[in-house]
Structure 1
């Protein structure tokens, strides 16, 4: 049995680094991660929409759960001046992020928005009673992994879209895909 591996060579902290990446297993893993994270956020968004309807209210979390945290100045400003944005972004953003990841469309854009939400959840919840490593941090790392590896290019709509003339003539669009 032969393995289809491809060496990855780069420089890290001024030192040459090389390791092998097994293409088939890496591809399966990217699709798996994308689908699992997508399902997680799709479910989170849907549950908020079903439970609260169109009128999800993040005001309490922004004012009280985040109080005393690193991001409290930001969340308290939004709670006082533009509460409509988090009220929209949390349930509907989670839903859109989940759908984007599941079908692999605008994957980097979806994952970047998921990373932003997870950043706020991680620093806003500040539930570090068991240490700094918790589920919110793991979610943030999963989104960053999807961004770095361009997970939408593996069995996703992004792979098709990147081959179109429209995207080929506008290379900047590739930063939102894959």
Structure 2
């Protein structure tokens, strides 16, 4: 098995490490697909035509015990913002999942997935058994997918980055990958 070396600078010190070339790629694709399915499925199940009724976050937001309760109270007390939230949670989860599964706009999807996971982590705030829970681990998965540009491995982003359009606009690579 081929190995590659990478270097990171950590606390002012350079550290080299080896990683298994093929295994790393397969692992990133697997993480991207699993997290993508997780979010696609979560969003899909919240759509009114699937769930049988429209998604409504009002009850949860009004009763959550969380350090970001003022934000939740503001959302519940602002009708247009609550309606926006009720549309964007299922739609956002679904689109984030779809982007990850297809490997399209992966860094953008990972960013917004990370934002949702921070809100879920702080919103759920179930830290009775410690601060490490599924929401935090989900956030870490989005960080991995985004940092390692997992869409460049067996994803649409690999093809998009080869287009002349993206080559003329290198800043788009921050959304792809």
Q: State the distance in 2 between where 1:159 and 1:79 align.
A: 41
Query: For 2:37, which of 26, 39, 64 is the aligned residue?
Result: 39
By how many angstroms is 1:141 displaced?
Answer: 0.7
By how many angstroms is 1:74 displaced?
Answer: 1.5
> Within the alignment, does 1:4 sit opposite 2:2 as a pair?
yes
4+ runs of 1 displaced by more than 3 Å?
Answer: none
| Counterpart residue number, 1:99 | 98
> Within the alignment, does 1:108 sit opposite 2:107 as a pair?
yes
For residues 103-133 of structure 1, give each alpha carbon's deviation from its aligned partner in whole angstroms, at most 9, with x where no partner exists.
Answer: 0000011111111111111110111121111
> Within the alignment, does 1:14 sit opposite 2:12 as a pair?
yes
Q: State the distance in 2 between where 1:139 and 1:97 align.
A: 13
Residue ranges of structure 1 left out of the alignment (5+ in a row): none
> Within the alignment, does 1:51 sit opposite 2:48 as a pair?
no
Q: State the distance in 1 between where 2:164 and 2:20 align.
A: 30
Q: CA RMSD in A?
A: 1.1
By how many angstroms is 1:76 displaced?
Answer: 1.5
By how many angstroms is 1:26 displaced?
Answer: 0.4
| Counterpart residue number, 1:161 | 160
Query: For 1:80, which of 77, 80, 83 is the aligned residue?
Result: 77
Q: State the distance in 2 between where 1:120 and 1:91 align.
A: 14
Q: State the distance in 2 between where 1:141 and 1:85 align.
A: 26
Q: State the distance in 1 between where 2:86 and 2:71 align.
A: 15
Q: State the distance in 2 between where 1:9 and 1:113 align.
A: 28
Q: State the distance in 1 between where 2:72 and 2:52 align.
A: 21
Q: TM-score, normalised by structure 2?
A: 0.94
Residue ranges of structure 2 left out of the alignment (5+ in a row): none
SS in 2 for 1:173: helix
